[in-house]
Amino acid sequence: MLILESFTKALNDSNIKICVKAIKAFEEIVPIYKTAVEQNINMIMNSIANGLSSTNSAVKNNADVLIDLLIDTVENVVLIQPLVHLALYANIRSKPLIIQHLCEILPDVYKSKPQIISKYVVHAASLLLDESKMEIKTVVVRLIQILHNLMGEGFIELLPSSKIDKVNEYLK
């Protein structure tokens, strides 16, 4: 959809005022174009992640609010893959916020589609265990705890054997 492409380009604009205005305008169209947003969620989330990694607090805060709006508006199941991808590969500055948002939707998604959590999130969590930055480690511990609370010992069984000791350490 051309409108969404235009907005995602504006979300990545180097002019802070344009970027902030684009985020604010995008907040208004998300509920109206919910289906189109869901169909283009990867493109949209990549643009928002760029805003989350901004050094400008207005851009970063507004991008964070936009993710909250997406969580409240679209089916959370469609957010899992983009959030997992961004948790693994996004700019280091945006990873903690992305992982926090991932943690936020896990219980809801697990109720309806537990296999998606098993397939995507467990693998990502095991990779994120190798992160060394303290801000990321803190949210990874929370991610591990939530996954264990949701899945019980089934979570541990899905992990590579090389990660089990570290996960057990985080669960203590």
Write the pLDDT tens digit of every residue in 89-147.
999 999 999 999 999 999 999 999 999 999 999 999 999 999 999 999 999 999 999 99
* Angle between the N-to-C axes of helices 2-11 and 16-29, in degrees from 0 to 180, rounded to the nearest 10: 140
* Residue 43 pLDDT level (bands cut at 50, 70, 90): very high
Q: Is the separation of the CB atoms in 63 and 23 below 8 Å?
A: yes
**What DSSP designation does 72 have?**
H
CATH number of 1-74: 1.25.10
At residue 1, the pLDDT reads 58
* Residue 12 pLDDT level (bands cut at 50, 70, 90): confident
Q: Is the separation of the CB atoms in 99 and 143 below 8 Å?
A: yes
Q: How far is CA 79 from CA 17, 68, 84, 85, 121, in A?
A: 27, 11, 8, 10, 12
Taking 80 as the threshold, does the pLDDT of residue 2 lie above it? no
